[in-house]
Every structure is written in C-alpha cells, then in structure tokens.
Structure 1
Amino acid sequence: MKLIVAIAFIGIIGALFAAGLFMLKRGGKTPGSKPNMARALTVRIGLSVALFLFILVSYLMGWIQPTGLPVGH
C-alpha cells in the first residue's frame, strides 16, 4: 500500500515538474509548449484523483484502517 502511494506521489511531482519545465522553456513562446504543459497538468490531476479514489476504495474495502490520534495521553 505504501509503495503504491509513494509511486503515485512521485508521478504527481514529476508531472508538476514537467509542466513547470514546459512553461519555462523559451518563455512559453514555442507553439508546442502549451499543449505539452496542459497535457502534463492533466496527467497530474488525473493521478491525484486516481490516488484519492484508490485510498477511498481501500478504506471502504477494509484494506486500510484509520489509526487516529491517541486522546488524553
């Protein structure tokens, strides 16, 4: 479970980094930079939503349990 979440976070950060590079590449004046940046941001949003849904389904299926914080210690 931890490995899947870590891989998803790495993918999200990588897509965000790629979008930043596409934005900064030649000041964003190249014709192909905007579609690449939009695609990278779309991938980031898709990965974020997929990670959220995976965590939600994992909780509902009982694969993960909330531990909570100890109260009164």
Structure 2
Amino acid sequence: MHIIVAIAFILIIGSMGSALYFMMHDRGKTKRMVWSLATRVGLSISLFLFILIAHWLGWIPYSQVPIGR
C-alpha cells in the first residue's frame, strides 16, 4: 500500500514538473502544459478515491484513536 501511494505521489510531482517545463519553453504555443496539469488532477483524484476505497475494503486499518482527543 505504501509503495502504491509513493509511486502515485512521484507521478503527480513529475506531472507538475513537466507542466512547469512546458510553461517555460512552449510560451503558450501548445497545449502540453494544460494536458500535464489535467493529468495531475486526474492522478490526484484517482489517488484520493483509491485511498478511500482501500480504507472501506479494510486494506488500510483504522487507527483506533478516539474521536474528540
């Protein structure tokens, strides 16, 4: 589980880096920066849903911390 989340974070940061690179070098002539940022949003939403479903299926255990403390 930790490896999947770490890989997803690396992909998200890589997508942000490529968007920055395209922003600096393309100067608005192509849509590569927009596609990189759209990919980042898609990866972020997918990661959130994966963590939510993994918790619901019991792959991520409940922390047993009492609510309100």
Equivalent position of 1:53 in the other structure? 49
Larger radius of gyration: 1
Q: CA deviation at 1:65?
A: 1.4
RMSD: 1.6
* Counterpart pick for 1:39 among 8, 12, 35: 35
Equivalent position of 2:21 in the other structure? 21
**2:37 & 2:61 partners in 1: Cα distance?**
31
- Indicate the percent of aligned positions where both proteins have the same amino acid: 45
Paired amino acid for 2:16: L
Paired amino acid for 2:43: L
Distance 1:68 1:16, change over 3 A: farther
Extract unaligned runs of 5+ from structure 2.
none
TM-score normalised according to structure 2 size: 0.86
**2:64 & 2:35 partners in 1: Cα distance?**
37
Extract unaligned runs of 5+ from structure 1.
none
Give the paired residue count.
Answer: 66
**1:15 & 1:43 partners in 2: Cα distance?**
7
TM-score normalised according to structure 1 size: 0.82
